[in-house]
Amino acid sequence: MHLILKASGVNAGVVSHLLAKNPNNVYDRTDKGVRVRMVYTKASEQETEVLIHAEPDPVDLVRGTPDGYDITQYINDREFVTSSLFCSYIRSALGTALNGKPKEDYVQWVDHAFELELKFGPVASDLPDRVVEELFSCMGYDITVERGESAYSFDLKNRSTVRHITLRGEQTIQQALRQLFLLIPVLDNYKHYFISEDEIDKINRYGEGWLDTHPHKGLIVRRTLHFAELIRTYERQHGALDDRPPRVEQQAEEADSDPNENIGQATSAERADDSSETPVRLNDLRYRAITDIVASLPEKSRIVDMGAGEGKLSARLAYISGVESILAVEPSGQARLRAMERFAKMQDRAGVQAMPEPMLGSLFYFDEQLQHQDVIILCEVIEHIEEYRLSSIMDTILKEYRPQVLLVTTPNKEYNEVYAMEQEQFRHHDHRFEWTREEFIVQCASWAKKGNYDYEIRGIGEDKEGFGQPTQLAMFTRGKEEHV
């Protein structure tokens, strides 16, 4: 993870004094397992270029965390990508520049706009290139976004999801760094620390002089504060955030929504929309469609929620009359713990028909406990699996587990255009593929034929002519000659 800052033109040499780092010395510090270095690659009165590099210890990144028992915590990109971690690592090295308090002889240069070039990356972001460009271009920067080519031995994708960003424009050193310290975590949408009201103070401090007029102020504030209560606190202090976030961001939020919250509760941005209907999250529509189908089935006493995650869907299935057991199968230990907490809160609630049972399991391994269940559900699961592995997984489900009914939901790739997403972009960074409606039909027909199942496909969400609906749902019903 790195940042390259380059200043060109008359008096560019002053930049080293604003950064309070001698070009003739290498800044090299190690603190809490992180090595930070600042090296001047060019240092003259006409051109100054400094490389700021941070190298964390990958083990220290996860040591002492609550989920230390889960090996999957080590499989992440935090060691490499430019994120909120990087900003925290280099903050002390750039404290003088961020605060605008160099030695007295150079105070006059704090407000001087230099011809700057800023390069940083790699950045992992769920925002489309268009939005990334808009975040910086409105502040006077020319922006270049580069992606690397991806060479896989199987059909996955042909370009990287991470990006390297270059900004060029006139700006003061202090303002340029403050903008980066606020916007880099917005791009990555990840905070490695507890988010409190201190984040509002940081927004006020780093956003002074530019954020109030930024066309994506709402997006910046929401992704900085994350939590609804903090966002409401900010709005009470600064007024309502009236710009709607990009649709791709709403999709990411839907993946984290809590089904026990009020369905259709609008955000302030949604309330500002002139639509008279209360918006409902797509995630809620998926859960509602699945629970409606399950409730209508003649045989539904035994249910398996595969890839149950934190148990959000399983919690809803628990209220369906006639359900006697729910296996919430999930490989992640951290997710199962959260599911257990969710289910524990349901103990004394009225209307619960069956308490979901968290269960360690994976689609990649056969488990005889999953045989001959009434319903198996794969809600937004298959797109997280390499496409070439799906055939054997579906063989196991339809030929070995033999449920009466199998429900599968997955994104409709064609609908991504409605969300103004780029052609090769997926709705979630962990998706391995996304299918068009025709591709999904072909796959379902093949699976049903091999397993002797009937199937039907329907859509979930708003229907747009030419694009269909955002989610595809397939219902597989066991053939009559196989039905016991």
Per-residue pLDDT for 434 more than 80? Answer: yes
Q: How confident is the model at residue 260, as a pLDDT? A: 33
Do residues 185 and 289 share a domain? Answer: no
Find where tokens 């809160």 sit.
345
| pLDDT given at position 77 | 60
Same domain, 183 and 323: no
Per-residue CA distances from 138 to 211, 213, 216, 260, 469 (Å): 11, 9, 9, 39, 33
Tally of residues, the chain: 484
Domain boundary among 163, 193, 223: 193
Domain membership of residue 405 (yes or no) is: yes
pLDDT band at 76 (very low <50, low <70, confident <90, very high): low
Q: Are residues 160 and 306 in the same domain?
A: no
When pLDDT is cut at 50, 70 and 90, the band that residue 481 belongs to is low
**Alpha-carbon span 100 to 32, nearest angstrom:** 26
Task: Tell me the pTM.
Answer: 0.55
Residue 150 reports pLDDT greater than 90:
no
Domain-terminating residue out of 193, 228, 252: 193
* DSSP states of 430-460: T-S--B-HHHHHHHHHHHHHHHTEEEEEEEE
Residue 203 has pLDDT above 90, yes or no: yes
Instruction: For residue 251, tell me if it sits in a domain.
Output: no
pLDDT for 129 equals 85
Can you give the CATH number for the domain in which 108 is found?
Answer: 3.30.1610.20
Q: In this predicted structure, what is the pLDDT of residue 71? A: 56
Boundaries of domain holding 379: 282-478
CATH of the domain at 327: 3.40.50.150
pLDDT at 254 over 90: no
User: Model confidence over 384-396: pLDDT tens digits?
Assistant: 999 999 999 999 9
Q: What is the DSSP letter of 246?
A: P
Q: How far is CA 476 from CA 9, 324, 459, 480, in A?
A: 68, 21, 15, 12
**Residue 154 sits in the same domain as residue 15:** yes
Q: In this structure, are 18 and 117 located in the same domain?
A: yes
User: Do 289 and 177 share a structural domain?
Assistant: no
d(CA 185, CA 223): 8
- Closest Cα to residue 156, out of 439, 433, 483? 433
pLDDT (tens digit, 9 = 90+) per residue, 137-146? Answer: 999 999 999 8
Which range among 16-30, 256-270, 363-377, 441-455 shows the weakest confidence by mean pLDDT? 256-270
Assigned domain for 225 exists: no
Q: What is the distance between the alpha carbons of residues 207 and 199, in angstroms, rounded to a whole number?
A: 11
Residue 140: C-alpha distances to residues 212, 215, 367, 433, 446 (Å): 15, 13, 58, 36, 53
- 3-state secondary structure at position 401: helix
Instruction: Name, of 149-158, 247-256, 429-438, 467-476, the range with top average pLDDT.
Output: 467-476
**Least confident range of 42-51, 74-83, 290-299:** 74-83
In a domain, 201, yes or no: no
Q: What is the largest CA-CA distance in the chain?
A: 90
Boundary-marking domain end, from 193, 217, 237: 193
- What mean pLDDT do residues 409-429 have? 84
Contact 21, 48 (CB under 8 A): no
- CA count, 13 A, side-chain hemisphere, 408: 26
- Domain identity same for 295 and 158: no
Q: Looking at per-residue confidence, does 266 or 306 come out higher? A: 306
- Angstrom distance (rounded) from CA 191 to CA 37: 23
Looking at the fold, whether 78 and 177 belong to one and the same domain comes out as yes
Residue 8 lies in a domain: yes
> Do 184 and 300 fall into the same domain?
no
Burial-class residue 257 by CB neighbours within 10 Å (0-12, 13-18, 19+). Answer: middle
Cα-based distances in Å from 387 to 157, 233, 434? 11, 44, 9
Residue-level pLDDT at 163: 86
Start-end of H helices in 267-358: 268-272, 282-296, 312-317, 333-344
pLDDT at 257: 41
| Distances, alpha carbon 144 to alpha carbons 118, 149, 183, 185, 464, in Å | 10, 16, 16, 19, 33
Better-predicted residue by pLDDT, 281 or 50: 50
200 in any annotated domain: no
Is pLDDT above 70 for 158?
Answer: no
Predicted local distance difference test score (pLDDT) of residue 241 = 83
Using the predicted structure, report yes or no on whether residue 183 has a pLDDT greater than 90.
yes
Q: Is residue 247 in a domain?
A: no
Q: Please report the pLDDT score of residue 84 as a whole number.
A: 81
Looking at residue 51, its pLDDT comes to: 95
Contact 415, 467 (CB under 8 A): yes
Secondary structure of residue 361 in the 3-state scheme:
coil
| pLDDT, position 401 | 95
pLDDT of residue 423: 66
Is 39 in the same domain as 154?
yes
* pLDDT mean over 54-61: 70
Q: How far apart are CA 366 and CA 398, in angstroms?
A: 12
Q: Is residue 252 part of a domain?
A: no
The number of distinct structural domains making up the chain is 2
Q: What is the pLDDT of residue 149?
A: 63
Nearest-10 crossing angle of helices 247-255, 217-225: 20
Distance CA 342, CA 318 (A): 12
The answer to whether residue 436 scores a pLDDT higher than 90 is: yes
DSSP 399: I
Mean pLDDT over residues 263-290, rounded?
57
Asked if residue 288 and residue 189 are part of one domain, the reply reads no
Domain co-membership, 183 together with 293: no
Which residues does 33 contact at the CB level (< 8 Å), separation at least 6? 56, 57, 60
CA distances from 291 to 284, 370, 430, 442, 468 (A): 10, 20, 25, 26, 22
